[in-house]
Amino acid sequence: MAAHERSRSGSADGPAQWPGQWSTRQAAKLTRIGSLVATALAELRELPPQQPEDVRVRLLLAHQRALDELAAVVGAELHSELRVLRMNLGPAPPTIAELRIAHAQLHGWMEGLITGQQTAAPRLRRRRVRRGTARTRPRRGARRPT
């Protein structure tokens, strides 16, 4: 495993070492979760508002699982944002309207996350290149080897 793919915990599936930078495995997992959330949101929009309780419970479980999977991929600094996206439920399963809102919020959050990563990635790459070239350049006033 390359050094840039190691997480703070040492696992390739954990949060990336640099904020906004994911390993290939993490990026693939985020893509799968994003696809699941987008598909669920599209299906929720098509469902009539009156659905049996078991259907609503399964949709809620899918939403919660997506949040759990995201928490396993993103860094700890984003966990508080994910907690805000969790549905605060009473004893009854959520309505279809509540599920639509929850999935739309999660979908929007993921779009923002991916856009932020895409925006930050070139900057991080330039910074790493600058650090690498700074290490290879001789310092001012340093003697050149003869």
Whole-structure pTM value: 0.68
Whether the Cβ atoms of residue 138 and residue 144 lie closer than 8 Å to each other: yes
pLDDT at 5: 36
pLDDT at 3: 36
pLDDT at 7: 38
| Amino acid letter, residue 123 | R
Q: Which residues have CB under 8 Å from 93's CB, separation 6+?
A: 53, 56, 57, 60
Whether the Cβ atoms of residue 119 and residue 16 lie closer than 8 Å to each other: no
pLDDT at 11: 42
In the chain (146 residues long), the average pLDDT of successive 10-residue segments reads 37 43 79 91 91 91 92 88 84 90 93 84 77 66 60
pLDDT at 130: 79
pLDDT at 52: 92
**Residues 63, 67, 68, 72, Cα dihedral to 10°:** 150
Q: Looking up tokens 């699982």, which residue turns up? A: 65
